[in-house]
Amino acid sequence: MAAQVGRRYRAGLLLTLCFLSCASGSGDDVVTPAAVRRRQLETRRHLYKLNKPAVMSIKSPDGDIIDCVHVSLQPAFDHPLFRNHTIQTRPSFHPENHYEESKLESKLGRNSSHGRKASKQISQLWHKNGRCPENTVPIRRTKEEDVLRASSVMSYGRKKKRTIPFPLSSDPDLVNENGHEHAISYVEGDEYYGAKATMNVWNPQIQQSNEFSLSQLWILGGSFGEDLNSIEAGWQVSPDLYGDSNTRLFTYWTSDAYQATGCYNLLCSGFIQINKEIAMGASISPISDYGGSQYDISILVWKDPKEGNWWMQFGEKHVIGYWPSFLFSYLADSASMIEWGGEVVNTVADGAHTSTQMGSGHFPDEGFGKASYFRNIQIVDSSNNLKSPEGIGTYTEESSCYDVDNDQNGDWGFYFYYGGPGKNPNCP
């Protein structure tokens, strides 16, 4: 046992040294033993803070460990503002007039006029080996190597500062400051109290480990400066964050344009989870097959008109949890813009656009079974009703790399195809 502990310690020391050396940015920089020990100590303190005592733990087939943590011990309650917070166990109201997915799938199963077949149901890989008991929430355990991949302990689980992911109203000179590229549909100019969409799930290829590809909806308030409020949910592939290329369910939030607030999933105080079935950041499976079976997920985010909290639902039955309204400034009232679509990071490796894929990695014109889609996109209005959006716009920085194409029909309501391969002969 002592030998094993010693080997683990030496391995951790070497890993820390490697990450510190890489983070220094110069072969001339000297990484001292004191710096290594300091980083190790910071990392272990952070892991102790994130990884709460578990009632039970479940080993997922993909290597993740899912800890079943008592609902009152989750990371949200580390924040002073949450210490006297009474957990809201269910939303006071649920949006009305939403599409009934069971009826829709029945239609699609008989093939619609566009030849689309019924989409399949998705679960999470860890379910194969167990479920969490009542009064607990499943939390993906953070490993030491996860934290060490970040540039610093405090930046782990957070987007880079001054990320400008929504350039529609921002300074054009800042559009690609951090290499973020999008193919989105959006609405603006009204007060919005939530949004819903069904999106098919893929496993896009990522060229560089510090790039990512995601598909999500955004609930936005404020300007596109340093006061941006954002709630985000969808699926993503992010080797830097998770250490692999699995497709995972995720959330994100910020109240100051990604500067000091917010994080992915449950990696900081903020989102309060009440659901024992779904783990944020865990792998989702199966995924869509090019030219074959299509698998999709539905996500709904809405503002409880009584309590004011922003709730998230996954599928038709899993109410996951909520973001308390006091986390936000502008979103404490309502959102001013809703966006749906894809986002990637292009690091311009070797001076050229990378081949990181968005969605399926294919352009919208390839259609069902080959291109990525969002269907039945809706907004929640001031009366807590889900309805079709009006005045939908589209945006992409470079349509020859990633594109988006809106449409509408009876089965899918308002929908769009989006995505692309990134680097190709026409992509600059």
Active site residues: 232, 343
Instruction: Give the integer Cα–Cα distance in Å for 42 and 34.
Output: 12
- 405-419 burial by CB neighbour count: b if 16+ within 10 A, else e? bbeeeeebbbbbbbb
- 86-114 burial by CB neighbour count: b if 16+ within 10 A, else e? eebeebeeebeebbebeebeeebeeebee
Which residue in 268, 251, 247, 255 sits closest to 205, CA to CA?
A: 247
Calculate ∠ Cα 71-73-79, nearest 5°.
115
Give strand pairing partners of 420: 358
SS3 379: strand
Give strand pairing partners of 221: 229
Instruction: Give the integer Cα–Cα distance in Å for 278 and 275.
Output: 6
SS3 307: coil
Q: How far is CA 259 from CA 47, 129, 154, 263, 344, in A?
A: 22, 38, 12, 10, 19
Q: Residue 422 has which token pair?
A: 């990134």
Q: Residue 391 has which token pair?
A: 């005045």
Residues 6+ apart with CB under 8 A from 16: 36, 39, 40, 43, 148
Q: How many CB atoms lie within 10 A of CB 37?
A: 12
Counted residue by residue, the chain has a size of 428
